[in-house]
């Protein structure tokens, strides 16, 4: 198992499926974890559960679209733990699914605001801390919809392509300063986000079967399978991976 002893890992969207699992796995690997989410109740419950596992936790509610809140979360993390070794910018949404011409413009704006501006603001405030340390790793959560089209999800796909654009540009800007920036791109993963989509389908089981067919493994991912890639991306031993989009898709994009 990757060892994060003595390291501080900051995670957004920690009330949700992937964020919560990431906080647990980084914590169990020895990290002190700083977690945030816009869902305060879920965040407090996550912090309590992590502490119950013996993990050291700092938590602060934060809407990633609010620059002051993001800055305050970064400052709070440094005040609590002294540094930020790794950051997982995971908070995101998947708005209702529509053909492009039927997509409400407000949905497009909201998706871009949370999924793109949120990642931008987090990196904007994490990078100066990492520059002062002379090292750091950032893992932005994109999607397979960030490397290819996603019918009925054009706003989401655009936002996840943009996350890769931010990742690659910043990776080149800050690689020489010791900061590695990568993206993880999951296929459909069993979290609240997927449950929400399944709830809108006339036949949940049929929909899940249809989605599973897209992967070579013929199943969707479990959160822990995606989180392994986040631990790999931020691992100090993984020192030459920079500006990469790490696709975790059960073979979906292999053909």
* Closer CB to ligand NAD, 137 or 145, in the complex: 145
User: For residues 156-175, which are near ligand NAD according to CB under 6 A?
Assistant: none
User: For residues 94-133, which are near ligand NAD according to CB under 6 A?
Assistant: 94, 114, 118
197 touches 94 (CB < 8 A):
yes
**Distance from C-alpha of 213 to C-alpha of 224, rounded to nearest angstrom:** 20
Residue linked to tokens 């990492």:
130
Residue closest to ligand NAD, measured at CB: 16
Among 8, 17, 136, 167, binds ligand NAD (CB under 6 A): 17
Residue 134, classified by CB atoms within 10 Å of its CB into exposed (0-12), middle (13-18) or buried (19+), is exposed
**Distance from C-alpha of 50 to C-alpha of 123, rounded to nearest angstrom:** 25
Q: Is 183 in the site for ligand NAD (CB under 6 A)?
A: no
* Closer CB to ligand NAD, 18 or 47, in the complex: 18
Euclidean distance between the first and the last CA atom of the chain, given in angstroms as a whole number? 31
Among 92, 95, 249, 252, binds ligand NAD (CB under 6 A): 92
Q: Is 250 in the site for ligand NAD (CB under 6 A)?
A: no
Q: Is 215 in the site for ligand NAD (CB under 6 A)?
A: no
Residue 174 appears among annotated catalytic residues: no
31 touches 110 (CB < 8 A):
no
What pairs with residue 166 in β-bridges?
Answer: none
How many other CB atoms are found less than 10 A from the CB of residue 83? 16
Q: Is 186 in the site for ligand NAD (CB under 6 A)?
A: yes
Of the candidate spans 25-33, 35-43, 79-87, 171-179, the one that interacts with ligand NAD by CB under 6 A turns out to be 35-43
- Give the angle 81-236-21 at the CA atoms, nearest 5°: 65
User: For residues 55-84, which are near ligand NAD according to CB under 6 A?
Assistant: 62-65
Among 32, 143, 167, 182, binds ligand NAD (CB under 6 A): 143
* Closer CB to ligand NAD, 7 or 12, in the complex: 12
Among 11, 31, 33, 38, binds ligand NAD (CB under 6 A): 38
Helix axes 118-133, 67-81, angle to 10 degrees: 30
Phi/psi class of residue 147: alpha, beta or left (left: φ > 0; alpha: ψ in -120 to 50)? alpha
Residue linked to tokens 């957004």:
12
Q: Is 211 in the site for ligand NAD (CB under 6 A)?
A: no
Summarize as ranges the residues that interact with ligand NAD (CB under 6 A). 12-13, 15-19, 37-39, 42, 62-65, 90-94, 114, 118, 141, 143, 186, 188-189, 191-194
Known catalytic residues are: 156
């Amino acid at each position: 198992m990757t060892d994060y002893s003595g390291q501080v890992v900051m995670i957004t969207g920690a009330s949700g499926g992937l964020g919560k699992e990431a906080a647990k796995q980084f914590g169990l690997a020895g990290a002190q974890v700083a977690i945030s989410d816009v869902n305060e109740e879920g965040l407090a419950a996550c912090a309590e559960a992590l502490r119950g596992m013996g993990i050291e936790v700092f938590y602060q509610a934060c809407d990633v679209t609010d620059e002051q809140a993001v800055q305050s979360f970064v400052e709070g993390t440094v005040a609590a733990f002294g540094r930020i070794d790794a950051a997982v910018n995971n908070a995101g949404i998947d708005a209702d699914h529509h053909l492009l011409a039927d997509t409400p413009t407000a949905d497009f704006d909201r998706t871009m605001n949370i999924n793109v501006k949120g990642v931008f603001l987090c990196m904007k405030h994490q990078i100066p801390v990492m520059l002062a340390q002379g090292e750091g790793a950032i893992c932005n959560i994109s999607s397979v919809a960030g490397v290819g089209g996603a019918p009925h999800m054009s706003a989401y796909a655009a936002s996840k392509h943009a996350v890769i654009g931010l990742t690659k540009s910043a990776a080149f800007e800050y690689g020489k300063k010791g900061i590695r920036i990568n993206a993880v791109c999951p296929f459909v993963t069993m979290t609240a986000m997927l449950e929400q989509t399944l709830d809108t389908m006339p036949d949940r089981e049929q929909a899940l079967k249809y989605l599973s067919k897209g992967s070579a493994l013929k199943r969707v991912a479990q959160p822990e399978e995606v989180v392994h890639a986040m631990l790999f991306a931020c691992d100090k031993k993984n020192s030459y991976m920079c500006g990469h989009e790490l696709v975790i898709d059960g073979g979906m994009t292999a053909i």
